Structure 1
């Protein structure tokens, strides 16, 4: 146990938190809306911890009361990173209102020389001086849906500019392939395997890193699909034309926030804009299910501009204390991030980069095994 500004700090494996600590963590999420994102829930941290041995959580106590929780990953050299970095779309030290803390003392108590993050919530003021850039994270504010209304009525009211074309494409898809059907909470594991197979092919086709080529990510998503708790539920949604899956999405939700995560569709049906239809169907169904905010995550995409009602800000950077390992890690990682962000921020650079990645994708062997094919 270490002390930080009057708080006691203990570090635990993510799966070792007892029911009382998880309840205290949930209470901190409930008391501060900025921490209601499901990526900040103990269930996500525990899921990552099942497959990443370096996953830990620091528990901050005021006397006997647990008042704060920081999930992170740490290597043998004391280099830390937000838990699930590269997968998580929201990162923070989750704490109860009024709790104050110091970033240097926190790192020391966790045994870290540096802590890397890329989706830090804006309210994390003690980390503020370590933020190297802030970025938009588009969100959709969802009003309670009229339970007597249908999807088409909701769509015309929420997105009048998209409704006519989108509904026309849905009707055409229904005529040409099969009757349209949307399942918001699909429990068939085969549908999840289809989504991962589609997404893996999309990554390869567009020259991106194939996340589902990594067995631990396949296992993590498969595990989270089975988690059904009040503050974290893995939700798989599927759009069908007849019995044929057309598009699918998997993402976590808390009591009030739904996180858009993995969306993919049958590329043979891209003419019908199945990805856009999926996001619209998701927003309507989530609102009916009590969700008040749909977080689409950091990144510039045209469909996000069409759908967002506003933007949150998330931070990227390296919280560090004076240490040679921290300096070396920052010198190695910061130029890579800077180059990536420069490309993403300028369409004149982003579009040629996309074309290059797609060209590389066409050279990849289509015959390699499909990740996720062995998942239960």
Structure 2
């Protein structure tokens, strides 16, 4: 393989254009999963402005780029997927039929190991290192919102009926319900971040927005807009005030759902669920094929979904002491987390404990 490694600022406009074209054509060429916005050059470049060590490997055949591999590298040669822990889709973006040797790629990138937790389907050279696979629920809207709503009413009739009724009640009790699919007011983004941060603390989870680089990344993406990519803030208003919001990433065909939150004062109206239905309607109107709700078992995802994708986590490694040491440190933590989340008899008491910690933190 002819592999060149670049810092993000060194990637040529021509290479970026090919990368975007590969994603734009992916659904026509049998790899629709590669159209995910988390695999886009815009996402990689935004991460690079907030985090050190971002690199992009470009693989060429006969002088022409055929694949792009974004990653982060530590000084010790430990590689991680782009924005590991917050990105919902990872892997190598490539032309149809391209095959690669994972260890040869790692060697060219100066990596002893590459860690991933949302590896996209169809990446066989990386999948050899997968330690587990997990569902990523999807809302299909390519046939239009009415078609999706018909599917929802068939498979989750009670959920559809109650959510639509709560939207009507929200309008009666609070005031006119208004939805903005692409809200450009930075103050609305700040409100969402405050809600989400409070939700993390309230439920005893680690507050992602306590990390400055994640705040910076979201703000970078909010202001990133190209014909094939945008950071998308969607807001549900009632009586002139925001009651729920979501920030995600949009490519030409996929809306990657990322940070949803709502004002707990309006929880009896399930504003987050109402928001997701409005997002599906707005995405369908824009010609989006599907909304990717992301890995993680949640009741609302099961109610909203039409099908599931699969993502994997794990490591692909070369024979190297750094790789062995990295895996030895990380594997027990991952195994424990996945065991707890997969088993209700363990997850439910753990969830109750975290919420109790959250109440103590917040003084309630």
TM-score, scaled relative to structure 1: 0.92
SS in 1 for 2:225: coil
8 Å CA contact retained: 1:144, 1:290: no
Q: How does 1:206-221 map to 2 (within 5 A)?
A: 206-221=203-218
Q: Quick one: which of 9, 21, 31 aligns to 1:27?
A: 21
Name the residue aligned to 1:265. 262
Name the residue aligned to 1:109. 108
Q: How many residues align?
A: 355
Query: 2: CA distance between counterparts of 1:264 and 1:174?
Result: 19
**Deviation sequence 1:52-110 (CA, Å, 0-9, x none):** 01111111111221111111001010000001101110001101112211011000000
Name the residue aligned to 1:372. none
Shift of 1:192: 0.3
Query: 1: CA distance between counterparts of 2:55 and 2:18?
Result: 17
Shift of 1:230: 2.2
Shift of 1:159: 2.3
Name the residue aligned to 1:65. 64
Query: 2: CA distance between counterparts of 1:232 and 1:28?
Result: 14
Query: 1: CA distance between counterparts of 2:358 and 2:102?
Result: 42
8 Å CA contact retained: 2:151, 2:306: no
Name the residue aligned to 2:328. 331
Shift of 1:245: 0.2
Query: 1: CA distance between counterparts of 2:147 and 2:235?
Result: 19
8 Å CA contact retained: 1:61, 1:67: yes
8 Å CA contact retained: 1:203, 1:210: yes
**Deviation sequence 1:229-250 (CA, Å, 0-9, x none):** 1221111000000211000000
Is structure 2 residue 297 aligned with structure 1 residue 300? yes
Is structure 2 residue 10 aligned with structure 1 residue 16? yes
8 Å CA contact retained: 1:155, 1:163: no
Q: How does 1:1-376 map to 2 (within 5 A)?
A: 7-32=1-26, 33-145=32-144, 157-160=150-153, 161=157, 162-365=159-362
8 Å CA contact retained: 2:141, 2:148: no
Consecutive unaligned residues in structure 2, runs of 5 or more: 27-31
Root-mean-square deviation over aligned CA pairs? 1.5
Shift of 1:30: 2.5
Query: 1: CA distance between counterparts of 2:320 and 2:292?
Result: 36
SS in 1 for 2:175: coil
SS in 2 for 1:222: helix
SS in 2 for 1:111: coil
Query: 1: CA distance between counterparts of 2:350 and 2:362?
Result: 21
8 Å CA contact retained: 1:40, 1:91: yes
8 Å CA contact retained: 1:15, 1:50: no
SS in 1 for 2:237: strand
Query: 1: CA distance between counterparts of 2:363 and 2:222?
Result: 28
**Deviation sequence 1:187-207 (CA, Å, 0-9, x none):** 100000000000000000001
Q: Name the stretch that deviates more: 56-65 or 245-254.
A: 56-65
Query: 1: CA distance between counterparts of 2:187 and 2:75?
Result: 38
Query: 1: CA distance between counterparts of 2:150 and 2:189?
Result: 31
8 Å CA contact retained: 1:235, 1:253: yes
Ranges of 4+ aligned residues in structure 1 off by more than 4 Å: 153-156
CA 1:108–1:277 in 2, change beyond 3 Å: closer, same or farther?
Answer: same
Shift of 1:155: 7.2
8 Å CA contact retained: 2:131, 2:313: yes
